[in-house]
Amino acid sequence: MSDDSPQAPPRRSTSDTEGSPPPSPVAMPESSTSQPEMATVDLEAAPTTTAAPPTQPLPPPPRQPSPRRTDRQSMAIDAPPPENGTSPSLASPQAAPEMTVDQDEGDVYGGFRRRFKLKKSRSAEPWSTTRKPRLPAIKRRIASAWAHNYFWLFLVVLAVITSISAFVMDETAANLRKGLVNGVLRTGGSQKDYGVILYIFLRVCITLIAVELTKRIAPIAAGSGIPEVKSILAGFSIPGFLEPRTLVAKVLGVVLLLGAGLPIGKEGPFIHTAAILAELLMRVPFFARHTNELFRNQMLSAAAAVGVSAAFGAPIGGILFSIEATANYYATSHYWGAFLCATVGAFTSRELAFKSYGAFSPHFDTVSYKHWEVWIFLLLSAVCGILGGFFVTLFTAFVGLRRRCAALKMKGLSAIPKIVLGTNLGFSALVALTSGLFACWIGDFALLGTREVMDDLFSEFPLREDANPKLHQRSRWDERDGGVGASLCLFIVFTFFFSTLCIGLPVSNGLVTPSFAIGAGIGRLVGEALRTLTTSVTGECPLSPAGGYAIVGAAAFSVSVTGKLSIGVVISELTGQLSYSIPVLFACVVGLGAGQLVEIDIYAMIARLKALPHWPAIHAAANFSKTVSDVVECTKAYEEPCLALVDDHPPANVQDTLNSATHVVIPVVRNGVFVGVMRVADLASAMEGDFTAAIDDAWPRCAPSATLSHLCFLFDLHHKDRVFVVSGGGRLVGHVDASEVGQALAAKMPAQETCPTDARDGGGVLAGAARAALGARFGGRLVIFKFSY
What's this model's pTM, rounded to 2 decimal places? 0.73
Q: Are residues 637 and 721 in the same domain?
A: yes
Q: Are residues 172 and 112 in the same domain?
A: no
Q: Are residues 119 and 182 in the same domain?
A: no
Q: Does residue 506 form part of some domain? A: no
DSSP string, 724-741: EEE-TTSBEEEEEEHHHH
- Mean pLDDT of all residues in the chain? 75
Helix (H, G, I), strand (E, B) or coil at 665: strand
What pLDDT sits at residue 243? 93
Q: Does residue 358 form part of some domain? A: no
Better pLDDT: 17 or 630: 630
What are φ and ψ of residue 665, in 5° steps? -125, 155
What amino acid occupies position 295?
A: F
What pLDDT sits at residue 632? 75
Q: Are residues 188 and 329 in the same domain?
A: yes
Q: Are residues 154 and 118 in the same domain?
A: no
* CATH number of the domain encompassing residue 688: 3.10.580.10
Rg (CA), the chain: 39
What share of the chain has pLDDT > 70, as a percent?
Answer: 68
Q: Are residues 191 and 107 in the same domain?
A: no
Give tens-digit pLDDT for 134-190.
557 777 776 666 666 677 888 899 999 999 999 999 889 988 988 888 877 766 555
Q: Are residues 167 and 289 in the same domain?
A: yes
Which residues are registered as beta bridge partners of 737?
722
Largest Cα–Cα distance in the chain?
132
Looking at residues 484-491, what average pLDDT do you find? 90
Domain end: 324, 352, 380, which one?
Answer: 352
Q: Are residues 122 and 164 in the same domain?
A: no
Q: Does residue 162 form part of some domain? A: yes
Better pLDDT: 207 or 45: 207
What pLDDT sits at residue 31? 43
Alpha helices in 327-412 (DSSP H): 335-352, 373-406
What are φ and ψ of residue 62, in 5° steps? -70, 160
Domain end: 352, 387, 417, which one?
Answer: 352
Q: Does residue 203 form part of some domain? A: yes
- Domain range spanning residue 709? 620-756
Which residues fall within 8 angstroms of residue 373, CB to CB, at 6 or more apart?
A: 543, 544, 583
Q: What stretches of 441-488 adopt beta strand conformation (E)? A: none
Give tens-digit pLDDT for 745-765.
555 544 433 333 333 334 444
Q: Are residues 155 and 56 in the same domain?
A: no
* CATH number of the domain encompassing residue 330: 1.10.3080.10
Q: Does residue 123 form part of some domain? A: yes
Query: What whole-number distance in Å separates Cα of residue 220 and Cα of residue 202?
Result: 26
Query: What whole-number distance in Å separates Cα of residue 617 and Cα of residue 619?
Result: 7
Instruction: Report the candidate in 505, 167, 225, 219 with the shortest Cα–Cα distance to residue 355.
Output: 167
Q: Are residues 97 and 238 in the same domain?
A: no
Looking at residues 257-275, what average pLDDT do you find? 91
Q: Are residues 237 and 328 in the same domain?
A: yes
Total domains, the chain: 3
Q: In degrees, to the nearest 5, what angle opens at C-alpha 737 toward C-alphas 734 and 741? A: 105
Q: Is the pLDDT of residue 777 over 60?
A: no
Query: What whole-number distance in Å separates Cα of residue 51 and Cα of residue 53?
Result: 6
Candidate from 28-37, 243-252, 514-523, 710-719 with smallest mean pLDDT: 28-37
Query: What whole-number distance in Å separates Cα of residue 56 and Cα of residue 54?
Result: 5
Q: Are residues 115 and 233 in the same domain?
A: no
